[in-house]
């Protein structure tokens, strides 16, 4: 993927991904008390082991944003947020969705403050048994991996032009 610099601010797209990763680590610590560290490996596992959240922005900074993670890791985050009780897939969708919501909100607030833009995002979409990022033939995605003892996570962003669109998460559904 071509690393285009923002012409006004001299900020590379990869710099935005750096901040997204920093935000994920920081919010995960605050919300779930867990420490994620950058990883060179990619998450392994079947599609049944992984769930995803994704959204797109509306406004001046047009991107698709996505996070795929091992369900065990999302379960642990949800368990912390919910108060250490039993966790169902429904809980992961609800609590994980808010976790994702906070991460992308903080990230876009940073982008808006730096670029003086007004960008918001749609309510995140939860995708069970999907693994959108590594299934992509779309090279416009910037992706980074993070890990902790409960599993791995990938976060990514795909910059969009005025007319183009990155593929929706559902498009990557891997048939079992």
Partner 1 sequence: MGKSVLIVDDSIFIYESIKEMLLDSSFQVIGHAKSGETAMELYDELQPDLVTMDIVMPDMNGLESARNILERYPNAKILMISSLAYEDTIREAEEIGTCGFLSKPIERDTLIEALGQCLEED
Residue 172 per-residue DSSP state = G
HSE, side-chain direction, 13 A CA sphere, residue 83: 0
58 near partner 1, rule: CB under 8 A: no
Among 1, 3, 18, 30, binds partner 1 (CB under 8 A): 30
> Residue 12 Cβ, how far from partner 1 at the closest point, in Å?
21
| Total residues at interface with partner 1 (CB under 8 A) | 27
Give me Rg for the CA atoms of the chain: 15
Task: Report d(CA 30, CA 9) in Å as an integer.
Answer: 30
Q: Among 39-47, 81-89, 125-133, 161-169, which window interacts with partner 1 (CB under 8 A)?
A: 81-89
Q: Which of residues 94-153 bind partner 1 (CB under 8 A)?
A: 94-95, 97-98, 101-106, 108-110, 112-113, 116, 118, 120-123
> Residue 71 Cβ, how far from partner 1 at the closest point, in Å?
18
Q: What angle, 0 to 180 degrees and rounded to 10, lies between the N-to-C axes of helices 71-82 and 13-32? A: 50
Q: 28: helix, coil or strand?
A: helix
Q: Is 66 within 8 Å of 155 (Cβ atoms)?
A: yes
Q: Among 62-70, 76-84, 135-143, 166-174, which window interacts with partner 1 (CB under 8 A)?
A: 76-84
Measured from the CB atom, the residue of 26 and 168 that comes closer to partner 1 is 26
DSSP notation for 54-71: EEEEEESS-EEEEEEEEH
Measured from the CB atom, the residue of 31 and 160 that comes closer to partner 1 is 31
- In which element (H, E) is residue 38 found? strand 37-39
Binding residues for partner 1, per CB under 8 A?
27, 30-31, 81-83, 94-95, 97-98, 101-106, 108-110, 112-113, 116, 118, 120-123
């Amino acid at each position: 993927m071509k690393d285009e610099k923002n012409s006004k601010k001299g900020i590379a797209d990869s710099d935005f991904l750096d901040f997204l990763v920093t935000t994920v680590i920081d919010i995960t610590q605050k919300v779930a008390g867990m420490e994620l560290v950058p990883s060179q490996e990619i998450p392994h596992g079947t599609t049944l082991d992984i769930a995803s959240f994704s959204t797109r922005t509306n406004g001046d900074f047009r991107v698709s944003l996505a996070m795929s993670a091992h369900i065990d890791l999302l379960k642990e985050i949800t368990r912390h947020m919910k108060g250490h009780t039993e966790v169902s897939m429904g809980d992961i969708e609800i609590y994980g969705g808010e976790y994702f919501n906070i991460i992308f909100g903080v990230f876009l607030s940073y982008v808006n403050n730096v670029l003086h833009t007004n960008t918001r995002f749609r309510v995140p979409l939860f995708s069970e048994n999907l693994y959108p990022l590594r299934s992509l033939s779309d090279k416009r995605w910037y992706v980074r991996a993070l890990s902790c003892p409960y599993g791995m996570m990938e976060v990514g962003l795909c910059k969009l032009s005025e007319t183009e669109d990155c593929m929706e998460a559902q498009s990557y559904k891997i048939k079992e």
